[in-house]
Structure 1
Amino acid sequence: MDKVSFSDNSVLASNRSLKSSTKSGNIVMQDGSETSDMSKVRNVDTTHSAEGMYENEPLLERDRLGKASHRNLGMVAPEPVSHSNAPVEDDFSDDDSELPRDPSDLLYSVRRDYRSFIHKSKTLLNIMIFVNTLWLVTTFISDFFFNINFLRSRITSFQDMTLIFVSIVANSLTLWFNKMGFYSTLDQFLNVILFSLTLFNLLINLLVTYIRQRIGLLGVCTYLWAAVTFAVSAVLDQNLLYFNTKFHPNNYADSEADNDDLSAHPNGPAHKGISNRHTITEWVSIGFRTTVKGVLLVFFVLFTMNNILFSLDSAITTKQIAQVSTEANAATYDAFHWADADHTYQIHLKCYGDVFSKDDSEENKQPIVLFEHGGADTAFLSGTWIQELYHLNRVHRYCVYERPGYGLSDSPPAPVSIAMMADALKHVLLKEAKIKGPFTTVGYDLGGLFTQVFTAKNIDLVESMLLVESWHPDLLLKNYISRLLPGDDSDDPEDYSKLPDEINRHNGFVIWWRGILSTFNIKLQTSWLLAHHGSKERIYGRDMMYQGKYLRVKLLESVTSSLLSYKDVLNSMENLKEVKVSVVSSNELIKKSAQWGNWQRELSKLSSKTQEWKIVDGGHQIYKYGLGKQQTQDVLLRLIDEKDKY
């Protein structure tokens, strides 16, 4: 046997012997013998191979149960070089020739895909957070400062902003903890639940006609976007689960068969030994994320309960209200009307008696009483004393309405002012409902300021004006600067503290916080669970103060009260000099606050034709006190029936 032939046979035998090596990695010749000449040839061949492979050559003498070397990760060990033209036998078939021949190749491929997944998911989540942040800022500006027509709905409250903020929180959690070590089946389950609850809330809103007509495209998109946020988190969690099964197959049920193979073949792939145990840092991170997601789940449960309740209340209270401007029968008129020519929002107007009649009968000579409710109620509460007069046939015709944001009226676009609301009411009465008057305007509490401005703007339509426990314009001032300066000797700090809560000036931040809480406030749930209040109480009555739509308009009123509304009231005073005016004040409130008495005295001097200033028995809410209510009714009857004294 010549030396070249012997070398070829030696290489072939060495290659076969390599595939059947033991765990220790020793290479043994098939015939069990090894001559010195063969050793020399093998050494020469090994030297020749090493010159071409350098560090890419697998370490044959190392135990392969340990961790794979980072130097040959993903590299395919080259075949031993043969100097013969004869084909070298191979255990791989033609179909398997392109598969990785080393388990580390598969591990490298999975890690490469994992790195690509992490990079792409971070990019996606950062884009979503940027869009959410931009959307949140734009919505905040549009809802509370400057109207952007395509970014508002007609029932704007704090829900949209809250949903967008929740989306930012969910995206941030997913971005921070989007790693295999932080994967949690519970978190994935919570994402699916939150996704389902978001779509369920959207479905509830779309089922009620009143809400469906007002929520707008933006409102629908807000719910859908929040749902997409949780869906993306769930999908990313599913991808993490996939990579976990690839890196740690022993921890999943799907790898049971592989585990059996591993027990039968101790020389399994090196990456099977990687542990899936969490570190303390990972457990803390998983606990933090799960806690936040749990809080979001509690929020969405309360949010859903309030949404269901509002949908039911809206469906019940709007069931018999006309959706278009059409004349109803002479006894009752109840409809929604557009507040401007651009059809921006609608106002709920309700009239009793024949407000459309144009004949000159004795009954129709009495002016239409137009009632303006207070700042923390609607005519459902504060207008009951006029309704009583109507049922007693002492008042023949009267109309009530809810200002924008109150009751069933739509949310107004920002900003708002008293003059804007007065113009909207005029458009509703004259252009939409075709009610021409004449009117006797009655303003209670904050509504007294709205009544003054409306009367001043429509002198030709108004015969007389009654102010019942009306606000003074000074209550619109916030006086931020004067609060920082030393007080005058004439200042009485007790005057403001003794005013009722509905009269006191509220801090805008307090209203803002209450608005955020309104999205999941338990008060609305206790109103029917414990207090057994009906739908009208939550829409019009005592529980209206917990509705987000109401709190939003109160915040708008607070923002512009010192800037716009105060000037509106001052500018209207000149036109009230020749209007018949009567003033009703509470004796209890005057006793509590001398300043309130001074303000009421100033209101009685608005006009040179003041009919009377009556101080009645009872508190600020005179409609709750029998004697005070009767005395107020008498003042109104004298105002609409008596002739001018002057």
Structure 2
Amino acid sequence: MNENIPLYVNHICIIFEDNLSPNPFYCWPKCLAFNSSRKYGPNEHTRLLPNRLDSTPYLSPDDPAVSPYNLFTVRLVRIFTVFLTILTFLWWLLMIISLFVTPPGFHARGSPFFAFVYASVALCTLGVELLFFAVPSKSVRVLSVVSAVLLLVDTIVILAVEGVRHEEVWIGVASVVWATLISCWALAADRTVQWGKREEEERLTGRPETRRTLGEWAQVLTSSTVLVAVALVVFMMTLNVSLRAFDTRLAPPGERYWVDENKYQIHLYCAGDGNVNGGKGGNNVTVLFEGGEDAVEWGLWQFAEDAVKNGSIGRYCFADRPGLGWSDAAPSPLSASMASDALSEALARAGEEGPWVLASAGIGSLYSRVFSSRHGTEVRGILMIDPLHEDLLPRVGAPGRGFRIWLQGAISPLGIRRLLGAMLRGRSSEDRVWGRAAYQSPRWIFAKLQESLVAASLTKRDVVSSRAIQYKDTPVVLISSGEQIRKDSEWEAAQRDLSHLTDNLKNWDVIKKAPHQVWETLEGREMIEKRLKKLVKL
């Protein structure tokens, strides 16, 4: 044998010196690879092979050198996965920021919670892929397919249904499309790693490895568990998006008007001919209702209809505040003055000019007071139903309350309570849009989060300023909840202070057995209607 010839494992050749051999070389299998190695030197497929004559042909399956990372393709896939993770993390941060302060062009008219959860799904999928990159499994690939299919359904529904597309705009569409692509990428990456792992095992150990170590089984179990949770989240979101699409068939009773440079729409509804007590003429006074913690449609709308039928008032209007009822969500931050400006713009676009009698409840009274201070000559009277005082706004803006609202909003796209209400309690579209289940809507929750964020700062400043410029001769009627006064001494002092809002207090009535929603009792409804009738006729 010629000892000057370099040898590589699996490429051993023997040279015969006699003339009996038909070939000067007799080679073991893979001699052709040996010739290539001798000619070109080690390459990606041969560089890890030992070059000692006494070595064994294959490595141990547990040898660290047996790794899919040996292949450039696998390393490239991992690098690109890291790049996608960085992009997704930046998008996820942007979605969090938009919950508190809306960047220019990133306003979602529904709520940013859907886009945030879709971004979270994409980030979680990539995180699992990176953490367990070298341990591919069939369960991960199956779950990636399930998530990708469900996200594709979400994408189709959002793009196909005009109402949902109007709410999500490009932010929600981009988020769900990105989450879909990331699920597809996770499937492709895991499949690539599986191929690379098999290739390296066959080359370095002689056969694909079928067994797993305990650590690998733990990684497979962890990754599968996380992706099962991700798939369940996506499944719930698919059902919720479908329910939202179903609810878009419910048309609003009034019209929706673009406000704030056409960023979002405010729903405005007016009814009645202006006649009072069945007369042929009216004084053209319109009662402008402002809801409290809920939309006007939930409680006060029916009261207004009854008041018109009874002849107590001749005409009324109401507008849903941003995020409530049929109104779109507004960009953040949203203070009382911003909401009042949106109402004024919607009324102007609708051609409604007043004069007005403002009837408001709870926290809605703050918005009515700001509106009154800016339209003093058009306001004939103010009726406040158990109103919230500006000194109590820190309760609304308490950090603990804000965090609870944010947490509720973060899980609201799953629609757990909305879906259970629809399936088990017979909740209708009316219940979900403006009724008893409206508080479960991500848009409603986002509106409450906006309200909480600026309650003790921007909104309080707006209300305090409005009190300073409020016309002092404007008639005021105050109707308070007896139950609320009995259980909260600060509330009683606040009601007493509001009775001095102007120098023209007409009445201050305390309905002893009425809750905060005074109109829920017969005595409360009768008193509100009686005082409203008096204000309209002034």
Q: Alpha-carbon deviation of 1:79?
A: 7.3
**Cα shift readout 1:557-588 (whole Å, capped 9, x = no counterpart):** 11111111001101111232221111111122
Provide closer, same or farther for how the CA distance between residues 538 and 599 of structure 1 changes in structure 2, counting only shifts above 3 A. same
* Helix, strand or coil at the partner of 1:346: strand
Q: Tell me the distance in 1 between the aligned counterparts of 2:235 and 2:534.
A: 54
Cα pair 1:467 1:582 within 8 Å, conserved: yes
Gaps of 5+ in 2: 48-65
Tell me the residue number matched to 2:430: 536
Scaled by the length of structure 2, the TM-score of the pair is: 0.87
Tell me the residue number matched to 1:339: 259
Matched, 1:450 2:367: yes
Q: Tell me the distance in 2 between the aligned counterparts of 1:176 and 1:339.
A: 47
Matched, 1:178 2:123: no
Provide closer, same or farther for how the CA distance between residues 214 and 516 of structure 1 changes in structure 2, counting only shifts above 3 A. closer
Provide closer, same or farther for how the CA distance between residues 235 and 503 of structure 1 changes in structure 2, counting only shifts above 3 A. closer
Provide closer, same or farther for how the CA distance between residues 126 and 366 of structure 1 changes in structure 2, counting only shifts above 3 A. same
Provide closer, same or farther for how the CA distance between residues 503 and 148 of structure 1 changes in structure 2, counting only shifts above 3 A. closer
Tell me the residue number matched to 1:511: 405
Letter in 2 for 1:443: S
Tell me the residue number matched to 1:384: 302
Tell me the residue number matched to 1:297: 231
Provide closer, same or farther for how the CA distance between residues 364 and 149 of structure 1 changes in structure 2, counting only shifts above 3 A. farther
Count of residues paired in the alignment:
508
Matched, 1:636 2:527: no
Cα pair 1:118 1:178 within 8 Å, conserved: no
Cα pair 1:379 1:401 within 8 Å, conserved: no
Q: Tell me the distance in 2 between the aligned counterparts of 1:588 and 1:436.
A: 37
Q: Alpha-carbon deviation of 1:240?
A: 2.8
* Helix, strand or coil at the partner of 1:464: strand
Letter in 2 for 1:534: S
Q: Alpha-carbon deviation of 1:614?
A: 1.4
Tell me the residue number matched to 2:492: 597
Q: Tell me the distance in 2 between the aligned counterparts of 1:381 and 1:506.
A: 29
Q: Alpha-carbon deviation of 1:204?
A: 1.5
Q: Alpha-carbon deviation of 1:231?
A: 0.5
**Cα shift readout 1:513-563 (whole Å, capped 9, x = no counterpart):** 111121214211122222212111111112111111111121111111111
Residue from 465, 469, 472 that aligns with 2:386:
469
Alignment of 1:87-106 (within 5 A): 88=23
Letter in 1 for 2:431: E
Letter in 2 for 1:434: G
Residue from 405, 421, 441 that aligns with 2:358:
441
Cα pair 1:371 1:379 within 8 Å, conserved: no
Provide closer, same or farther for how the CA distance between residues 506 and 639 of structure 1 changes in structure 2, counting only shifts above 3 A. farther
Q: Tell me the distance in 1 between the aligned counterparts of 2:198 and 2:525.
A: 76
Matched, 1:193 2:87: no
Tell me the residue number matched to 1:495: none
Q: Tell me the distance in 2 between the aligned counterparts of 1:276 and 1:102.
A: 31
Q: Tell me the distance in 2 between the aligned counterparts of 1:503 and 1:606.
A: 23
Tell me the residue number matched to 1:219: 172
Q: Tell me the distance in 1 between the aligned counterparts of 2:381 and 2:430.
A: 31
Q: Tell me the distance in 2 between the aligned counterparts of 1:188 and 1:97.
A: 39
* Helix, strand or coil at the partner of 2:254: strand
Alignment of 1:131-530 (within 5 A): 131-145=87-101, 147-179=102-134, 182-246=135-199, 271-273=205-207, 275-313=209-247, 315-318=248-251, 321=252, 334-340=254-260, 342-354=261-273, 363-430=281-348, 432-477=349-394, 507-530=401-424
| Percent identical | 23
Letter in 1 for 2:507: E
* Helix, strand or coil at the partner of 1:513: helix
Cα pair 2:360 2:384 within 8 Å, conserved: yes
Q: Tell me the distance in 2 between the aligned counterparts of 1:277 and 1:381.
A: 66
**Cα shift readout 1:2-57 (whole Å, capped 9, x = no counterpart):** xxxxxxxxxxxxxxxxxxxxxxxxxxxxxxxxxxxxxxxxxxxx3xx32342xxx2
Cα pair 1:402 1:408 within 8 Å, conserved: yes
More divergent stretch after superposition (136-145 vs 564-573): 136-145
Cα pair 1:372 1:379 within 8 Å, conserved: no
Provide closer, same or farther for how the CA distance between residues 397 and 281 of structure 1 changes in structure 2, counting only shifts above 3 A. same
Q: Tell me the distance in 1 between the aligned counterparts of 2:185 and 2:449.
A: 35
**Cα shift readout 1:80-113 (whole Å, capped 9, x = no counterpart):** 49899x9946789xxx997678999996499788
Matched, 1:581 2:476: yes
Q: Tell me the distance in 2 between the aligned counterparts of 1:242 and 1:378.
A: 61
Q: Tell me the distance in 1 between the aligned counterparts of 2:210 and 2:82.
A: 28
More divergent stretch after superposition (161-170 vs 147-156): 147-156
**Cα shift readout 1:281-318 (whole Å, capped 9, x = no counterpart):** 000111011011111111112222222112211x2223
Letter in 1 for 2:249: I
* Helix, strand or coil at the partner of 2:71: helix
* Helix, strand or coil at the partner of 1:460: helix
Q: Tell me the distance in 2 between the aligned counterparts of 1:407 and 1:155.
A: 11
Tell me the residue number matched to 2:85: 129
Residue from 522, 535, 550 that aligns with 2:444:
550
Letter in 1 for 2:433: I
RMSD of equivalent CA atoms: 3.1
**Greater C-alpha radius of gyration:** 1
Q: Tell me the distance in 2 between the aligned counterparts of 1:112 and 1:237.
A: 11
Q: Alpha-carbon deviation of 1:461?
A: 2.0
* Helix, strand or coil at the partner of 1:435: coil
Letter in 2 for 1:531: R
Cα pair 1:449 1:569 within 8 Å, conserved: yes
Q: Alpha-carbon deviation of 1:172?
A: 1.0
Letter in 2 for 1:223: V
Cα pair 2:12 2:31 within 8 Å, conserved: no
Tell me the residue number matched to 2:56: none
Q: Tell me the distance in 2 between the aligned counterparts of 1:349 and 1:81.
A: 100
Letter in 1 for 2:88: N
Q: Tell me the distance in 1 between the aligned counterparts of 2:162 and 2:331.
A: 21
